[in-house]
Amino acid sequence: MGLRTTADSDCRFNQGPKSGKAPRRDIETLAGIISPIVSNQAEAEAEKILAKFGTFRELFQKIGNQTAIPEALNREAIEYLKIIAMSFNFALEEELVSGPVLAASGSLRKYLFHSLSSSKKEMFRVLFLDTNSRLIEDRLMGIGTVNRIQIYVREIIRDALELDATALILVHNHPCGDPSPSKFDIALTNKIINLCQSFDLDVLDHLIVAKSGVASLRSMGLLDEGEISVSPKLPTFYRSVIESWIESVFKTFGRA
């Protein structure tokens, strides 16, 4: 079952005009960090790096995925910053997996905000949790342009069954900077909840990440499970039969 977002999203991609130069505070902070590497040229190098990556925050959100280093930038300084960014990512992940994952927790929101808020592409991720609400896996389920992304709901269910997950947290980002859910976001969430209920899978929340913050559909009262709980939960035997059937369909026909 493929569902695609459309231009009906209330979120429009508009980052606003770029200022020609990074804030002085950002330049000085970055210069202090890279000064052991570039010595007397730290401030000039910091200015060039921020001109390439944007704000101080965007630098550390993007640099971990930077493979090709522009010739104009100091290679040693970039590699040094990548190590710092990776260490920060590791610390956030470690905090997240140290105990039960709660959709409203600050550690989860920091983790998601750091990884998604500056992305220029819309990404849909699912956090698969076990019976103790511990994270099994954070899996990317779809990636698209600014306001179009294709979601295969059956793949979410299949992956949950394969991972033996009992609960999910849905996550996607709004590149426009506004985390407010669109009508499609709400409809898609409730559709996924409705389908997951038949497989004893609980959708705990849908979090939307943007530069201005993180929105929770549950805390906004948009997950009206009372109205959509129309599918009875299946006994374990029937669930295993359906799992086998789904797997055979995937092997025969592949993706829809």
Interval 73-130: pLDDT, tens: 989 999 999 999 888 888 888 888 888 998 778 889 999 998 898 888 899 999 999 9
DSSP bridge pairs for 125: 140, 171
Query: Is it the case that residue 229 has pLDDT exceeding 50?
Result: no
End-to-end CA distance of the chain: 6
Rounded Cα distance between 140 and 124, Å, is 6
Chain segment 189-199, per-residue pLDDT in tens:
999 999 999 89
- 37-64 pLDDT, tens digit per residue, is 998 899 999 999 999 888 888 888 788 7
Listed residue (166, 158, 155, 124) closest to 142, CA to CA: 124
Strands 167-173 and 202-210: parallel
Average model confidence (pLDDT) for the chain? Answer: 81
Query: CB atoms < 10 A from the CB of 42, how many?
Result: 21
Dihedral sign for Cα 71, 76, 80, 82, please. positive
- Sign of the torsion angle spanned by Cα atoms 254, 120, 6, 168: positive
Distance between CA 75 and CA 194 in Å, rounded?
50
Single-letter code of the amino acid located at 117: S
E strands of 60-134, at which residues? Answer: 122-129
CA angle 24, 28, 31 (to 5 degrees): 140
| Global confidence as pTM | 0.73
- DSSP, collapsed to helix, strand or coil, labels residue 205 as strand
